[in-house]
Structure 1
Amino acid sequence: MDTLTRIRAFIDVVEAEGFSAAARKTGRSKALLSKYVRELEDELGALLLNRTTRQFSMTEAGHIYYRSAADILKEIESLADLVRENNADLKGRLKVSVPRTFIDADIGQSLIDFAVENPDLSLDIVAEDRFVDLIEEGFDLAIRITRLEDSGLIARKLADFRIYALATPDFVKKHGPLDHPQDLSRVPVLIDTNSRGHNTARFNLPDGGGVSVAVNGPIEVNSPQATLRGARAGLGVAMIPDFIGRPYVDSGELIPLLEDFLPNDRGIYAVYPHRRYLPAKVRSFVDYLHAWFRKNT
């Protein structure tokens, strides 16, 4: 039995968080997977997994070996992708991390359209509002909606976006005028807890400086869609991405506030680990999204 097969078995067990789950996922028997992992440990002269009848965990050596072994397998897969690159049909599995804000908005249709055009490629989409560790958690890439900071990852901007501060005309009539960021400190503001500032809103000033304003309101929720509904109900001001709020601005249902003060350095990015050989499926996916945004936004 070759070492590569043993390594694959070990990674399958780790990512499934147990031998039984890995057996169900891979179609191999639990005993066979256990045999492969044991042979790998014998070959290395180190215990990689702690096994009991009730618990499963990696040893320190297991953690170290998993990170390197997972990278090696990705490189091998990337080499295979290079050979197949001229083939128009993409195959295999692509694991993508996306924010719920992305998948729940109209722009989430981009993922569905890609899947329709590439039926032989399986998209494993994990939607959650946190920055996953791409390498540690086995993701091929992630979509991030943010002001990008240096993270050691490769990033490609798919589209620009800005933040809207939105309220109904009746709310503005009742609480206005709202002409300066400090005015938000005296009115209800619906808090999206995905924001890094939570109860603090950051604004730009005409002189090039900035100002932080403490805000609060009747709702705090980790969903811009929920704060949007609150704003439409007249509960307060919602600060949400333009790709979510734009239809309600265009219809006149909501009014944009403080446009000259809001940051405009945000973007939607595809990010992925730096690897010598970028898999064709990742490159094709990112190229597709970039073209999709140019056409649809």
Structure 2
Amino acid sequence: MDTLTRIRAFIDVVDAEGFSAAARRVGRSKALLSKYVRELEDELGALLLNRTTRQFSLTEAGHTYYRTASDILKEIDNLADLVRANNSDLRGRLRITAPRTFIDAEIGQSFVDFSVAHPELSLDIVAEDRFVDLVEEGFDVAIRITKLEDSTLIARKLDDFQLLFCASPSFLEKHGPLDHPSALARVPCIIDTNGRNHGNWRFAETDGSTFSVAISGPLEVNSPLACLRAAVAGLGVSICPDFIARSKIASGELVTLFDDYLTKDRGIYAIYPHRRYLPAKVRTFVDFLHAWFRRHR
């Protein structure tokens, strides 16, 4: 029996948190999996699992071996996917996390269009506004709408992105004119609590320097769509992602403010873990999104 099979058995047992659960998951007997793990331990000359009649736990050596072996197997599987992609259709499951606003907005159609174009791939999409740990939580790709920061992850920019400051015409008639961002300190604002510094809104000067304005208001909510609706209702000034605000601006329901002070350091990115052999399904998905945004600008 080859070492790779023994390694897979060990990882299956750890992932399933038990021999019985692993046996059910992979369709092999509990005795066979136990045999493979025992042979792996004999080969290594180290105990990987502490076994009792009811449960098991990883030894220190087991923890170290599991982390490294998992990465090695992923690389092997990714390399196999890469080779298969040149000879056959893509197949399998792609696990994606994206902000709720992205999924609910018109640009969320990009996921649907990808599924239509690649019915052989199954998409598992999780709407999540927080920044998930792709490796720890088992995601293949994340869509992030953000200012890109240094990371061990790989990022590909899909499109430009702008946060717009918006208010309704009726609100501006009552509280205007608002000629400079500093005026926000004296008027009601709608606060999206998804922002890292949601109590302070950041602006850019023409020389590239930035400044912030402390704001407050009648509504705080972790939903850009709710903030948009509140702004349309005249409750205050709101920060709105451009891809959900465009239609309201075009219809005249909202007016943009401080366009000369907008920061330009954000974008829509596809993020994925750094791997030597990028899975073909991930590469195909990211390439599709990049082309989709080029067509729909």
Q: Fold conserved (TM > 0.5)?
A: yes
- Matched residue, 1:193: 193
The reply on whether 1:229 has 2:229 as its aligned counterpart is yes
- Matched residue, 1:106: 106
Q: Which structure: larger Rg? A: 2
Output the amino acid matched with 1:4.
L
The reply on whether 1:216 has 2:216 as its aligned counterpart is yes
| Distance of 2:32 and 2:230 partners within structure 1 | 55
| Distance of 2:17 and 2:236 partners within structure 1 | 44
Q: Which moved more, 1:108-117 or 1:130-139?
A: 130-139
* 1:258-281 deviation digits (Å, cap 9, x = unpaired): 111111221111122222222211
- Matched residue, 1:292: 292
Structure 2 unaligned runs (5+)?
none
Output the amino acid matched with 1:235.
L
TM-score in terms of structure 1 length: 0.87
Q: Which moved more, 1:17-26 or 1:1-10?
A: 17-26
**Number of residue pairs the alignment of both structures matches:** 297
Q: Which moved more, 1:182-191 or 1:61-70?
A: 61-70
Output the amino acid matched with 1:157.
K
- Matched residue, 1:125: 125
- Matched residue, 1:239: 239
Question: What SS does the aligned partner of 1:260 have?
Answer: helix
Question: What SS does the aligned partner of 2:156 have?
Answer: strand
| Distance of 1:296 and 1:231 partners within structure 2 | 26
Checking the alignment, whether the CA contact within 8 Å between 1:89 and 1:118 is kept in structure 2 is no
Question: What SS does the aligned partner of 2:238 have?
Answer: strand
How far off its partner does 1:58 sit? Answer: 5.2
| Distance of 2:51 and 2:219 partners within structure 1 | 46
Distance 1:3 1:18, change over 3 A: same
How far off its partner does 1:18 sit? Answer: 5.8
* 1:172-192 deviation digits (Å, cap 9, x = unpaired): 111111121111111222221
| Distance of 1:134 and 1:55 partners within structure 2 | 28
Q: How does 1:1-297 map to 2 (within 5 A)?
A: 1-15=1-15, 25-27=25-27, 36-37=36-37, 40-41=40-41, 43-46=43-46, 48=48, 60-87=60-87, 89-297=89-297
How far off its partner does 1:101 sit? Answer: 2.4
| Distance of 2:54 and 2:131 partners within structure 1 | 30
How far off its partner does 1:203 sit? Answer: 0.4
How far off its partner does 1:25 sit? Answer: 4.8
Checking the alignment, whether the CA contact within 8 Å between 1:49 and 1:57 is kept in structure 2 is yes
Q: Which moved more, 1:228-237 or 1:112-121?
A: 228-237
Q: CA RMSD in A?
A: 2.7
How far off its partner does 1:157 sit? Answer: 0.8
How far off its partner does 1:219 sit? Answer: 2.2
How far off its partner does 1:11 sit? Answer: 3.6
| Distance of 1:172 and 1:55 partners within structure 2 | 66
Checking the alignment, whether the CA contact within 8 Å between 1:67 and 1:135 is kept in structure 2 is no
How far off its partner does 1:161 sit? Answer: 1.0
* 1:91-120 deviation digits (Å, cap 9, x = unpaired): 112222222222122111111111121111
| Distance of 1:147 and 1:126 partners within structure 2 | 21
Distance 1:82 1:197, change over 3 A: same
TM-score in terms of structure 2 length: 0.87
| Distance of 2:7 and 2:184 partners within structure 1 | 56
* 1:220-272 deviation digits (Å, cap 9, x = unpaired): 22221121122122222211210111111111111111111111221111122
| Distance of 1:237 and 1:13 partners within structure 2 | 54
How far off its partner does 1:152 sit? Answer: 2.4
